[in-house]
Amino acid sequence: MNAFTRLEIHHGLLLDLVSVQIWGWVENTLSLPVDATCYGMVTAGQTQLRDPGAGSYEVGYGMFFVLPDGGWVEGGCGLIIALAGYRGLRQIGGPLEATGRLRYIDGCSDTLLVCPPRWGEPCLNHLHIPPHTDQTPHTHPSVRIGVIMGGTGECRTPGGAYPLQPGIGWYIPTGCQHSFFTQDESLDVVAWHPDSDFGPRDDDHPMINRTVIE
């Protein structure tokens, strides 16, 4: 996969990238792999989330979760990103806010929804692209995977323009030049990064930094 890939969500495996798999669920029960950390986003309806380590939860549209020990989802629909061989921190969050809390390029904004537990580990972001945005073409040093949560627009690449609307998943390979474009509507994107150049370290985190030894 060397180009932008648009993913129509259906029930089952959408894309297999070896260490990363992308799954969709639509109403029916989807069992999640036990040897991976699963990042999930609910794109419509109400979903029953079963976490074998913490119980059952109702999660609705615009909410997200991280499951490190398998489990299952049922009802509603959404997208799962499963990273093999990694243990994330279990959590549930959302729904998404109207805009991001951090500044991003070309007037866009971003919220770090799931922070990397340690420097370099995966993270999940909410990217808000306002109406009438013609984003500067850019690349990333690792893959990007995500789903459109609201609004309409396009992802433009040297190979063509791809229309985007709610419930569409996508995969952008490493180094693929792309940009987002909107007209009269904003576009809300949830994007997963497999790595980061940000996060706490053993010698640099809030607990140790705010510990004063006289």
Spell out the residues 6+ positions from residue 135 whose beta carbon is closer than 8 angstroms to its own: 105, 106, 108, 129, 179, 180, 181
Q: How far apart are CA 31 and CA 35, in angstroms?
A: 12
Pair 138, 104: CB distance under 8 Å = no
The distance of Cα 70 from the centroid of its chain, to the nearest Å, equals 18
- HSE (CB half, 13 Å, CA atoms) of 22? 25
What is the model's pLDDT at position 152? 97
Name the token pair of 95. Answer: 């729904």
Pair 196, 141: CB distance under 8 Å = no
**Tokens 């990333």, located at residue:** 140
What is the model's pLDDT at position 171? 98
pLDDT tens-digit series, residues 154-194: 999 999 999 999 999 999 999 999 999 999 999 999 999 99
**Tokens 């150049």, located at residue:** 197
| Domains delineated in the chain | 8-93 (2.60.120.10), 102-193 (2.60.120.10)
Pair 45, 77: CB distance under 8 Å = yes
What is the model's pLDDT at position 86? 97
What is the model's pLDDT at position 2? 72
Averages of pLDDT over runs of 10 residues in the chain (214 residues) are 89 96 98 96 98 95 96 98 97 97 98 98 98 98 98 96 97 97 98 97 96 93
Spell out the residues 6+ positions from residue 20 whose beta carbon is closer than 8 angstroms to its own: 81, 82, 83, 84, 143, 145, 194
In one letter, which amino acid is 121? E
